[in-house]
Structures are given as C-alpha cells and as structure tokens.
Structure 1
Amino acid sequence: MSAVSEVKTAMEGFRLWPGALDARAQAELVEAVFARLDQAPLYRPQTPGGRPFSVRMSNFGPLGWVSDRAGYRYQPTHPETGAAWPAIPQALLDLWDATVGGPARPDACLVNLYREGARMGLHQDRDETDLGAPVLSVSLGDAALFRIGPAEGGRTTTLKLESGDVCALTGPARLARHGVDRVLEGSSRLIPGGGRLNLTLRVAGAARGEDDQSLMTSCAPAPP
C-alpha cells in the first residue's frame, strides 16, 4: 500500500482508502491478474433465469463465486474448464492484512472485468458462510460510479472509485446494497484492452449447496 490513509465515509462500516495502491503497485497487480486469467479465462455468467451478466468474470483462490441456472454459489472449479482456480495474488493477501485483517484470510477473489457499458445492479454479498467477515474490494483501470445504501433499503449514496482505490464492507455495512452504475470509459490506460477490473476478496467458507434457495437473491446483475 501507499502512504494514503483511510478516509471517513457517510456509512458506518463502509471503509475507504483512496489511492491505496500507487501506479507501480497497480501495474504489478494487473500483470499478476492477467497471468492467472490465462489459467482461469474470463467468461460471461448467467442468472438462474438465464439472463447474461454485462460483466465478464473469473476467480482466484480455493473457492470461486459462480452463477448459472443452478443458482448462485461458491465452488472450487471453473465452470467452463473444470480446472481449479489459480491462487490469490500475494499482493492482495498483503493488502487484506494491512486493511481489514482479522482471524480469517480470504479464500475467494472474484474478478470482474467491466467493458462496453457493463455495470452491476444493486445487490448484497450474502453467499458466504460467515457474514461477519469483511469484504474487500480493489479498483483498477477506468473509474466507476459506485452506489451504496443500507441493507434494509432506503437512500443510496454515489461516489467515484478511481484506479488504486480500496474499499471494504465491514460491521454494520457488511450487507449493504451496492453496485456500479457506470464506468467512465477511457479514464485510464492501465488495463490491456481498456476497461475496469474489480477484485473482491471474501471469506467464503465451505462451499454452499446448489439447492440452497437463499443463494437466489444475493447478487442480481444489471440489465445488459
């Protein structure tokens, strides 16, 4: 991390470190991500109803979050190749320790690539076994308009996340509704081919069963 400090936000438990990763750290992390994407190619998931996401996804770590007609869940293998997910980059594990820390380290890293108008509708991260463990998010590449609001509903707040910014959902904000309204295309040249990478670290715990109906309402994609 750079020397940039955490800043106070309007929502208790929503933590933000603007510019936490300097230019060199961002470039090195992008290189590590794309090297792993050779092993775990990006793909376009679908909702249980068959609707395609507008983002492309992959995962790193022992478990990866997937969505298809069987439901939302974590599993240890890529849904298209059947191969195990590659390891989480050490730089991300170090970032976790330096920010949210805690007794458990992340065992899942969701990779979202936003291009060509991709966005993400408001949703909650609730497929994890321990909903008390924090969720850490890293922004790389094009800036994004990020929306967040209370878990129980109500007024939302929008802020711009720049490349190198890091944020976390913790405590009262762990189940906050959040999403990406829009990506400011061309605002960065960091990502090969353009766009925005979002890396989300979670403590997923044991893989959840595909018949668990609670998985069906957690992460709804935005319209294409």
Structure 2
Amino acid sequence: MAYCGYCDRHFQAWGSLQQHLEKKRPQAYCSRCQKVFSSPFAKQQHVADSNKHHVCEKCPEEESDFDSKDDLIEHLETDHNYCTYCERAFNGPVQLTQHNTVKHNICIDCRRYFNSTSDLKNHLKTHAEKTSQCPGCSQMFVSESAMVLHLEAGTCESGATSDFVTATALTYFRPGKYTCNGDSGLGFKCRTCGATFSFVSAVLQHAESDSCNEHLAGRRPLGRFLRHLRAQFR
C-alpha cells in the first residue's frame, strides 16, 4: 500500500499516490523520477543536476524539460533556430541550415556532422542522383570514380577487372604523366599535386574531391581517359 508522509494518507495503488502528489505538491514532486523533495528549490536543484532532465532555458518551465539531450537539441534547432555548438540563435531555419552547412559540415538530409568539407562532400554522394553509367552493364553510379571502382572490383557483368582497367590506363597515359616509375607499388599519380595511388578509381576520386585542382571536366586528360575507357566496351 502506498503512503504519503506529508498528508498521512494511504493509497491502494502507487499510481493513486503519484496523482495525489502531483496535485497536492506539484512544486516539490518530480513525476519523471517519482521523488518528493523537501521544497520547490530542492526539486529545482535535482532537475539541474540530474541526467534525466534536459531543460530548455528559452521556454516556459512547464514546457522546457526533455527526456534526452538529443530531444533538447532537436527542440532548440527546430523551435529556436539555435546552434548548440556556437550557442547562437538565428533569425530563421534557413539561416541556421546555412550556418550548420558552412561551419559544421552537416548533412541537412540526415542531420549527420562531418569532420571536414571533403568528408561531407563524399557523404552527399550517397544522396546524389546517379548520373554515371557503366559502359559494361548500364548500371548507374553517383560518380565516375564509383563506376570505375565497380569495374575494378570485378562486379560488372561484362567481366571487366582491375587488371583490365589498369592495362587500359597504362596504355592510354603517356609515361610519367599519370603513371609512376619505380618499385613503389603505386602505379598512378595525380599530375597536378603528385599524390600517388594504387588504382585508377582512386585517382578519379581524388580529382572529384577538393584535395587539389585536378578535375575531370572538359578536355582534361582524366576526362578523355574516361571516354577512352568507355570506348573499349563498344
């Protein structure tokens, strides 16, 4: 049998006692933790110190307590356009989104944060429209490097392999331009910055990133190589 020591009353069920405390001592009773405190101040101190309470200081007290930190952060961002990292409020959701994208490398589709702009850019490819078609099987990919990696991995129904892609590249590029000399085991390099790679797909991914000024557009050698590679399947 449940008992209220403040009123010297017994209750048949714990739920009845809880309702009684919420009605008679609302300022000193914590319904979430089911505890009665000696004073409203003691309850406030409990809420401030407990990891079961996450309070929004911008809202009225009765609406401000959330079950988890994630719920509080979502509330601050949604209702107050507030960046919890910078502790700064914005005029609207558009301004907050722009700030998060530029300053914190956030993906606005899945709300994930990334360590760098390059990491975010690579992640955004998972949401991107697939525009690169494999010449061997017509499967679509989000980037040229992903398409070539598919060929190198031997997953294309055409039977293409890493050896095929490598041989095509070695016969297309002039010695020393995108190919390495020596026994390093790294067969390819970026002509612009000198970074070395084991696979053609890695060179292409490097060119698609913001790592250096190399790119695939126009009549750049890597762009012409991709057209040459596709021609091998005709």
Asked if TM exceeds 0.5, the reply is no
TM-score w.r.t. the length of structure 2 is 0.22
Q: Which has the higher strand share?
A: 1
Higher relative contact order (CA 8 A, sep 6+): 1
Q: Which has the higher helix share?
A: 2
TM-score w.r.t. the length of structure 1 is 0.23
If you compute each CA radius of gyration, which structure gives the higher value, 1 or 2?
Answer: 2
